[in-house]
Chain A
Amino acid sequence: MARCPFCKEEINELKMEALEGKVGLVRLNEWDRIYFHAGRTYSGKETYYCPKCEALLPIHNEVEAEAFLRGLLRIVPKEDIPKKKGKLGQCFVDSEDRPYQVLRKEEEMLILRRAPKEVEMLYRELDERNKEQLEIIRLS
Chain B
Amino acid sequence: MPRCPFCGEELEKYLPTERTLQQIARVLVLFRGGRQCPRCGKGLGLRSFGEFEDFLEDKLAVILKEKAKIKRNFALYDGEVYEILREEKSDDGTEVLIAKRITDEPRASIIAASFCNEEVSCPKEDEIKNLAERIDRIESDLTEHIYKPLAKGIGISTALLGILLAVSSSLLAIPAFIISYLCFRGLWKSKKRDDLQNRERRYSL
- Chain B residues with CB under 8 Å of A122's CB are 71-72, 74, 110-111, 113-114
Select the residue from A122, A123, A126, A133 with max chain B CB neighbours within 10 A. Answer: A122
- Given A118-B72, A122-B113, A130-B116; 16 other pairs, CB 8 A cutoff: A86-B109, A88-B113, A90-B105, A99-B107, A102-B104, A102-B107, A112-B106, A115-B106, A122-B74, A122-B110, A122-B111, A122-B114, A126-B117, A129-B120, A130-B114, A133-B113
Q: Which residues of A contact B169 (CB under 8 A)?
A: none
Residues of B close to A125: CB separation below 8 A: 114, 117
The interface of chain B, by Cβ under 8 A from chain A, is: 71-74, 104-114, 116-117, 120-121
CB of B114 within 8 A of CB of A126, answer: yes
Q: Which residues of chain A have C-beta atoms less than 8 A from B111's C-beta? A: 119, 122
Question: What is A's interface to B at a CB cutoff of 8 Å?
Answer: 86, 88-92, 99-102, 112, 115, 118-119, 122-123, 125-127, 129-131, 133-134
Contacts across chains A and B counted by CB atoms under 8 Å:
69
Select from chain A the residue with minimum beta-carbon distance to B107: A101
- Asked if B113 contacts A115 (CB within 8 A), the reply is no
Would you call the interface of chain A mostly helix, strand, loop, or mixed? mixed
Contact, CB under 8 Å: B110 / A99: yes
Assembly CA distance A68 to B114 (angstroms) = 28
Q: Which residues of A contact B74 (CB under 8 A)?
A: 118, 122
Q: Is the CB of B73 within 8 A of A89?
A: no
Q: Which residue of A lies closest to B116 (CB)?
A: A130
CA distance A100 to B71 in the complex (A): 20
With the chains together, A101 CA to B110 CA distance in Å? 10
Contacts A101-B104, A102-B105, A118-B73 given: A127-B110 contact, CB under 8 Å? Answer: no
Interface centre among A88, A92, A115 (most CB of B within 10 A): A88
Quick check: B104 and A91 within 8 Å, CB to CB? no
Give complex CA distance A115, B116 in Å. 20
A89 touches B117 (CB 8 A): no
**Cβ-neighbour of B112 out of A88, A99, A101, A115 (below 8 A):** A88
Other-chain contact of A89, B105, B116, B120, B121 (Cβ < 8 Å): B105
Residues of chain A within 8 A (CB-CB) of B105 are: 89-90, 102
Inter-subunit contact B109/A91 (CB<8 Å): yes
Cβ B113 vs Cβ A131 within 8 A: yes
Given A118-B73, A122-B111, CB of A127 within 8 Å of CB of B106: no
Report the minimal beta-carbon distance from A127 to chain B, rounded to whole angstroms. Answer: 6
